[in-house]
Amino acid sequence: MIPAAFEYHRPKDIAGVLSLLKEHGEDARVMAGGHSLIPMMKLRMAHVPHLIDLQDVGGLSGIEIGPDTIRIGALVTQYDLIAHDGLAQAAPILREAALQIADPQVRYMGTVGGNVANGDPGNDMPGLMQCLDAVFTIEGPEGARDVPARDFYEAAYVTAREDDEVLTAVTFRKPFGGYAYEKQKRKIGDYATAAAAVQIVKQGDTCASAAIAMTNLSDTPIFSHAAGAALVGTTLDDAAIDAAVAAMLGDINPTEDNRGPVAFKIHVAGIILRRAIASAWSRA
């Protein structure tokens, strides 16, 4: 199918974007890479009379690696995450996750900002950013504000971003310790049946801290405080891992769809999380 007719806008700066959003209100939508919005428009699931393309907006495509923090502009693509050597050293979990998103064609155009901003429960970056305790910078008529990734998602396709605001950057502290992003999907290019992002810090033989988030198992990504807490202070023996998995399975709420019934998804979630915990612990 082809989308309904729309007006195409390509402003040069954020001020221009915000002006268009103010002028056209609910009739306007912002597009980054287009891999989420354009398919919905083609299927007539989204009607967008005014499409605002961010590609010419300056200052949204950079990756800044500071002494303690990393800042990623909203227009940074998944391919950029994979190809950036400094980022691969500073936060290798990003490259590991990006390599599992869709296929190379999508990764060349799909952006970090688009992946985290639209609230699609199947997207990979939201759960990963919750695991990293990232902060999203959002700009609107009243200026810029920061929203923690763990507070950003409210329901499927519903976030803390208002209609007249634009997500411009993602910032997080440099991660350290062991990491893993594990994902099970039906085929190349598909959304996850279940995916897990894990960061573990090890002191001696015990776990000092752990952050765990999972994707596409509820109508939002799930960051489980209880799952991480179950690992802290342990040597990650079987009992600790069982407790972490049980805590996460208690936090998710999958629904039946073409990726399988609820029982199957819960089973897959447990397996994927165990793999991610084991991999992160081996790297810690």
1 part of a folded domain: no
- Kindly state whether residues 47 and 84 are assigned to the same domain: no
Q: What is the model's pTM?
A: 0.95
Query: Which residue ranges of the chain lie beneath pLDDT 70?
Result: none
Position 40 scores a pLDDT of 78
Position 9 scores a pLDDT of 97
98 part of a folded domain: yes
Position 153 scores a pLDDT of 98
Position 164 scores a pLDDT of 95
The per-residue pLDDT for range 2-19, each reduced to its tens digit, is 888 999 999 999 999 999
Last residue of a domain, one of 173, 204, 221: 173
58 part of a folded domain: no
The per-residue pLDDT for range 84-135, each reduced to its tens digit, is 999 999 999 999 999 999 999 999 999 999 999 999 999 999 999 999 999 9
2 part of a folded domain: no
Position 39 scores a pLDDT of 79
Name the residue range of residue 87's domain: 63-173
Position 189 scores a pLDDT of 83
Position 60 scores a pLDDT of 97
Helix spans in 99-145 (H): 104-109, 112-117, 125-131
Last residue of a domain, one of 148, 173, 198: 173
- Kindly state whether residues 156 and 223 are assigned to the same domain: no
- Kindly state whether residues 73 and 151 are assigned to the same domain: yes
49 part of a folded domain: yes
Q: State the residue for tokens 């199947």.
A: 122
Q: State the residue for tokens 């967008």.
A: 48
